[in-house]
């Protein structure tokens, strides 16, 4: 799944997480979070790190919607359907 830096930033805000909380949940450094969130479009970096960040947000309850080129966004997953 490819997401944008803006989606990562929005997902974190939606969850009410600080950059440090996301860094801890993803097992990466806080500067990595800041770098990924600053990127326009899809962040550049190791796929493994990218996956750790997005998987932490998904585990937190975020659903990434759209594609990087068409309506990228985030929403909270409907936990009653899980």
Q: What is the pLDDT of residues 8-63, one digit of tens each?
A: 999 999 999 999 999 999 999 999 999 999 988 899 889 999 999 999 999 999 99
pTM for the full predicted model: 0.90
Beta bridge partners of residue 76, listed in sequence order: 62
Q: Which domains does the chain have, with CATH numbers?
A: 5-81 (1.10.260.40)
Token pair of 32 as six digits? 């990595």
Beta bridge partners of residue 73, listed in sequence order: 65
Q: What would the DSSP string read from start to end of 30-55?
A: HHHHHHHHH-SSSPPS-HHHHHHHHH
What count of other Cβ atoms lies within 10 Å of the Cβ of residue 4? 22
Nearest to 36 by CA among 74, 5, 67, 69: 5
């Amino acid at each position: 799944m490819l997401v944008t830096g803006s989606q990562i930033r929005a997902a974190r805000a939606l969850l009410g997480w600080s950059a440090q909380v996301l860094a801890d949940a993803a097992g990466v450094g806080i500067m990595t979070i800041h770098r990924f969130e600053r990127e326009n479009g899809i962040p550049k970096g190791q796929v493994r790190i990218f996956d750790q960040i997005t998987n932490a947000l998904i585990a937190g309850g975020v659903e990434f919607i759209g594609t990087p080129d068409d309506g990228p966004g985030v929403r909270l997953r409907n936990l009653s359907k899980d």
